[in-house]
Amino acid sequence: MKPRYKRFILVVVALALLTLGAMFVLKAFRSNLVFFYTPTEVLAGQVPQGQAFRIGGMVLEGSVGREEDGLTVRFEVTDTLESVPVQYTGILPDLFQEGKGVVAQGRMNAQAIFIADQVLAKHDENYMPPEAAEALERARQIKMDNQ
């Protein structure tokens, strides 16, 4: 009887640990999901306050400017309908360019400026970041619905 009893305890303990682990994993998972919004959705107030999210679209032509310190960059992300001002401190990726696709991750501040802590551009000349493409596509849909 004894070895069987031991094995039973082993199985129960293992299952308990696994359940605990799974709960822990799912909790960490839920609190670290980053949602994506287009500029139109951001300006329509669909973004939950105080939460980090991603915004995507094109860098508006002529919108890139620098602060005095040379490190802080301001630009606008547009989906062709609306645009959101973004501020980022640091070095931009090599392929960040006006009129090209961009994705930024961060939060809105009280002045309705998106403070980005990460800016992503595409990996080579051909492809758009999928979020940026999605933002343009959603804006195109809205335009078509309005016509």
Partner 1 sequence: MTPEIGHFAIILALCVAIAQAFFSLVGATRGYVNWMAVSRPSAYVLFFLTAFGFCCLVVSFLTNDFSVLNVASNSNSQLPWPYRLAASWGSHEGSLLLWVLMLSGWMAAVARFSKGVPKDMLSLILGVMAIVAIGFYSFLLLTSNPFDRLLPPAMDGRDLNPLLQDPGMVIHPPMLYMGYVGFSVVFAFAIAALISGRLDTTWARWSRPWTTIAWAFLTVGIALGSWWAYYELGWGGWWFWDPVENASFMPWLCGTALMHSLLVTEKRGSFKIWTVLLAIITFSLSLLGTFLVRSGVLTSVHAFATDPERGVFILGFLVFVVGSSLLLFAWRAPKVGLGGRFSLISRESALLANNVLLVVAAASVLLGTLYPLFLDALGFGKISVGPPYFDAVFVPIMVPAMFLMGIGPIARWKKSSVPELAVKLKWAFAIAVISALLMPFAMGDWSILVSFGLLMATWIALAGLVNLWTRLKQMSSGEDRTLLGSFLAIPNAYYGMLFAHWGVAVFIVGVTLVNGYEVEKDVKMSLGNTVTIGEYTIRLDALKDLKGPNYTGVEGSMAILVDGKEVDRMFPQKRLYTVQQMPMTEAAIDTGFTRDLYISLGEPLNDGSWVVRVYLKPFVDWIWGGAFLMALGGVLAVSDRRYRRASQDEENRGEKTASS
Residues that bind partner 1 (CB under 8 A): 3, 6, 10, 14, 18, 21, 24-25, 28-29, 32-36, 54, 66, 69-71, 89-92, 94-95, 105, 122-125, 127, 129-131, 134
Instruction: Please say which residue, 122 or 147, places its beta carbon nearer to partner 1.
Output: 122
Please, what is the minimum distance in Å from the beta carbon of residue 103 to partner 1?
Answer: 9
Instruction: Please say which residue, 34 or 44, places its beta carbon nearer to partner 1.
Output: 34
Q: What is the rounded CA–CA span in Å between residue 16 and residue 37?
A: 39
100 touches 115 (CB < 8 A): no
Q: What is the rounded CA–CA span in Å between residue 105 and residue 136?
A: 17
Please, what is the minimum distance in Å from the beta carbon of residue 29 to partner 1?
Answer: 6
Residues whose CB is less than 8 angstroms from the CB of residue 108 and which lie 6 or more positions away in sequence, other chains included:
42, 47, 49, 114, 115
Please, what is the minimum distance in Å from the beta carbon of residue 41 to partner 1?
Answer: 10
Please, what is the minimum distance in Å from the beta carbon of residue 54 to partner 1?
Answer: 6
92 touches 102 (CB < 8 A): no
Instruction: Please say which residue, 89 or 109, places its beta carbon nearer to partner 1.
Output: 89
Q: How many residues does the chain have?
A: 147
Instruction: Please say which residue, 72 or 109, places its beta carbon nearer to partner 1.
Output: 72
119 touches 102 (CB < 8 A): yes
Please, what is the minimum distance in Å from the beta carbon of residue 12 to partner 1?
Answer: 12
Instruction: Please say which residue, 113 or 133, places its beta carbon nearer to partner 1.
Output: 133
88 touches 107 (CB < 8 A): no
